[in-house]
Amino acid sequence: MTEKIKAFIGHLFDTAPGPSFDFYIPVLILSGVLIAVGIAVGIIYSRRKKYDFAFKRLFKNLSITLILIGLLFLILTAIRYENIPYFSTPILNYLSVLLLLFVIYKTVKKYFVDYKRESENIKNMRVAKSQKQTASRYLPNKGK
């Protein structure tokens, strides 16, 4: 068991793992999908930010984050293909996958928890503001 752990850790920190990497095509497809989704989210954001203030506040940086993660996967794949020492270590690939999973988790959590709560808060503030304006219309000014 200890030898398997040592072998796995040795694999993670191998400075020159070689260009033999079976996942070139899936990683390139994932990069393309992330960049395309980032562009699509940017278009949706630019249209929706005019009337949905909760969406505007919560998802401001999502499109650029997705595009940057897609570019990170492209760069790591190119580095692995060229077999550049120290930059092609497998741990960088695993860390970038963890980064992608973290961004997906935070985005889903924002959408299903924070976005609904923020939308309700904004709706309640608008109702309270309109009620305050109608109530203050009938009250005399205290300063005059």
pLDDT digits (tens, 9 = 90+) for 84-143: 887 778 888 889 999 999 999 999 999 898 888 888 887 777 666 666 666 556 556 666
Residue found under tokens 């040795």: 10
- For the whole model, what pTM was predicted? 0.76
Whether residue 16 has pLDDT greater than 60: yes
pLDDT digits (tens, 9 = 90+) for 59-82: 899 999 999 999 999 999 888 888
Each domain of the chain, given as residue ranges in start order, spans 2-137
Residue found under tokens 């595009």: 67
**DSSP structural state of residue 64:** H
Q: How far apart are alpha carbons 69 and 35 in whole angstroms?
A: 8
